[in-house]
Amino acid sequence: MDKIIKPVLTEKSIRLLEKKQYSFDVDLKSNKTEVKHWIEKFFNVKVKAMNSHRPPGKKKYAGSIVTHSVRYKRMIITLEPGYSIPLFQNE
């Protein structure tokens, strides 16, 4: 599970939960096949479709030196009907 960094909980991702779509930040070097395998194995679900994109990195300035923040890849995963991923544990 080291390829998946964290689940994403934004306004848009919460709206996507109604369509059985979940957003995760994953390692930049991972591909769709690896992430699909990990999601299906770890959460015991069936993945229907996957979309990915790489948001641009933010610039940081230290005098005349410009560096970029750590980049990541964001995956939006659509599950087959009847499956779901619990993002929060019941308290």
Domain ranges of the chain: 4-79
Predicted TM-score (pTM) of the model is 0.78
Residue 15: its H or E element? helix 11-16
The CATH number of 4-79, from 3.40.50.150, 3.30.70.330, 1.20.1530.20, 3.90.1150.10, is 3.30.70.330
Sign (positive or negative) of CA dihedral 80, 25, 71, 36: negative
Question: Residue 63 has what pLDDT?
Answer: 85
Cβ neighbours for 67, distance < 8 A, ≥ 6 positions apart: 59, 60
Residue range 47-76: mean pLDDT, rounded: 87
Rounded distance between C-alpha atoms, residue 84 and residue 22, angstroms: 9
* pLDDT tens digits along 31-40: 999 999 999 9
Question: Residue 91 has what pLDDT?
Answer: 36
